[in-house]
Structure 1
């Protein structure tokens, strides 16, 4: 039986990040995943500079920046009206490419095992991981980054607690102008025009030379609307967002239309010796709230930068050690924010009470005020100074080297 400091079950975003960080810290690690190359899976397709900052702390930020496409600027609509044109700090990247880029940062010393984990036996000292091939691995710590799969958690006595079944549905597809040419924006966020349409928002953003679309709606799986969208996406989209065409002009959906429903759940009974859960294995996030990738990234960075090394430096792997991670103020704050945003986004899209209509119209005013502020700061009063200030304002959360590059570029405008 091969023995390691850490065995990681699942090599998606959180698992691959964890493997990279633990191996670079000098610990022996094995990663078990069915896919030698991560497949083209419809999940997160955008990250931002705030997440890049966390990835820099994990030592892999530069690689992700090279692989992703920065949108640079974006238009924003509220209630069907264009309210804002602003600089943007978001980057488009296919999820498969994101994970494979992270995997490429894992040191060669780490052992990758292509296979499936069928069982985990945990204790306060040594954990045993059984593979479908019949092989067993021993480790002091097991990191469960197994995504939505529930069987291993159930075998350990952990329960899935459903918070909201089919909380939202996400569609992904590419678009292009119907008449050819290009759109008048690099990226667009078009929020739902009325609660009766049950749309959170449509976001358009570049990935390489493609313009990608993610549409977030609140519909039950049996709703005929979902089938109608798959069958006739342009017509169904136009009916759900009737003012969209006044912003984009006629558009055409190209390539396959992918759909992903999401259940909101959290795990109970997770404070156990020798096993720690990260990402979706611990709790899901709503894609419409934009916190899924952020939560996974924060989980992996906090676990591996804050706890794994000190846990391995002392004997035992009891539940009191594992609980330190779950109680970490950054990790727990990330979880609370993710869940709160999931419910807030849904209420903003669907709630027809006076209070939520007031919030919607307030968002129109806030967007217009920001647009006016950007416009004023862009007026050339004395050469390039306002442009330099605008870029500086939009890179406050970026790593220092990105700030320097952005400010340098602004000086050449």
Structure 2
């Protein structure tokens, strides 16, 4: 039997950051994931705003952000009108690139096993983890960071309660200009015109030399609209967002169109000895609200910087210790904020009530006023559609 202090089940973003942080702190840990190289997946594709200070607290920010592309400025538009051009700190990166870059930061002292966990048994002292090849690992703590996978959670009696099925759907694809080398904006957020379109927003941002698009919609997966989008994405975008092509010029969708629905759920019966659940394995967030990486960075930072060092200082790994993580005020605040933002954005996007109509117009007018003030103080100089984008932007890193 192999012995260690921490076993991390799952090598996505949450698991890889956990392994890197614990390894740098000198904690004996093993990370288990079946993928030698993490595969492409439509998940987080940019980091910015509130996520940056949360990432900074992990101590991995500078190295992770080297794999990203900074936009530097974002335009905001609605009705085909640019309402604001403002500085931006969005760091675009494909999810598999982000995870593999994070894995590269895991010190040699952390062993990575490329296999699956088939059994977990937990208790107040040590935990038993059984691998697919029959090998046993004895550990003080199991960190479940295995995302949407449910088999181990069922084995441990963890229950998933769905709060909102297919709460939102993300479409990911690349947009390229036609007849010219670049689109006229460094990055763009385009807000919908009608609630009937069931669109939260379209965001375009650079990843390397490509312009990546994430479109967030509120539709059931059997909606014929998804078929229409796949068949003729450019025409569907023009119909949904009149005025977009006036800003962007002629454009085309290149590469595959990926579609990912997101349920909102929480895990119950999770306050158990010997095991802690982090990231999407604990509770999902709405991708449209953009709080998923906030939750991952917060969960992992609190776990590795605060709780695991405290827990390992004394014998045992009983429920009382584990509850300290779930009751952590920083984590609770982030989880509560993430859930509230998911419902707020959905209502702001598709609710036809008078209150929400007023809020939409207030937001539009407020952003327009901010944009006018910003242009008055510092005129923005857009990149002409006839000229190539400066080389310094492509692949620019933090």
Q: TM-score, normalised by structure 1?
A: 0.90
Aligned 8 A contact 2:79 2:241 in 1? no
Mapped pair 1:20 → 2:20:
yes
Whole-angstrom CA distance in 2 between matches of 1:8 and 1:59: 19
Q: Which residue of 2 aligns with 1:95?
A: 95
Q: 1:232 maps to which residue? A: 232
Give CA-to-partner distance per residue, 1:124-179, whole Å, 9 cap, x none.
10001111111111100000001001111111111100011111111111011122
Structure-1 separation of matches of 2:65 and 2:110: 24
Match of 1:386 in 2: none
Any gaps of 5 or more consecutive residues in structure 1?
380-404, 407-413
Distance 1:189 1:231 in 2: 24
More displaced, 97-106 or 173-182? 173-182
Larger RCO, structures 1/2 (Cα 8 Å, 6+ apart) = 2
Q: Give the match for residue 338 of structure 1.
A: 338
Match of 2:117 in 1: 117
User: Which residue is equivalent to 2:287?
Assistant: 287
Name segments (4+ residues, structure 1) moved above 6 Å: none
The residue aligned with 2:62 is 62
SS of equivalent to 1:307? helix
Say which structure is richer in helix: 1
Please say which of residues 204-213 and 70-79 is displaced more in the overlay.
70-79
Which position in structure 2 is the counterpart of 1:275?
275
Q: Secondary structure at the match of 2:341?
A: helix
Q: Which residue of 1 aligns with 2:304?
A: 304
Cα displacement string for residues 81-107 of structure 1 (whole angstroms, at most 9, x for unaligned residues): 321111111110010110111111110
1:314 aligns with 2:323: no
Find the residue that maps to 2:358 and give its secondary structure.
Answer: helix
Q: Is the alpha carbon distance of 1:61 and 1:49 closer, same or farther for their aligned partners in structure 2, counting shifts above 3 Å? A: farther
Q: Determine the structure 2 residue equivalent to 1:159.
A: 159
CA distance in 2, matches of 1:246, 1:357: 26
Q: d(CA) in 2 for partners of 1:231 and 1:90? A: 30
Q: 1:13-412, aligned counterparts within 5 Å?
A: 13-378=13-378
**8 A Cα contact 1:8 1:143, kept in partner:** yes
Deviation at 1:235, TM superposition (A): 1.4
**Structure 2 SS opposite 1:89:** strand
Q: 5+ residue gaps in structure 2? A: 380-396
Worse-superposed segment, 226-235 or 286-295: 226-235
Rounded to whole Å, the distance in 1 between the matches of 2:378 and 2:126 is 61
- Corresponding residue SS for 2:193: coil
- Alignment RMSD, CA only? 1.6
Give me the TM-score of the superposition, normalised by structure 2: 0.93
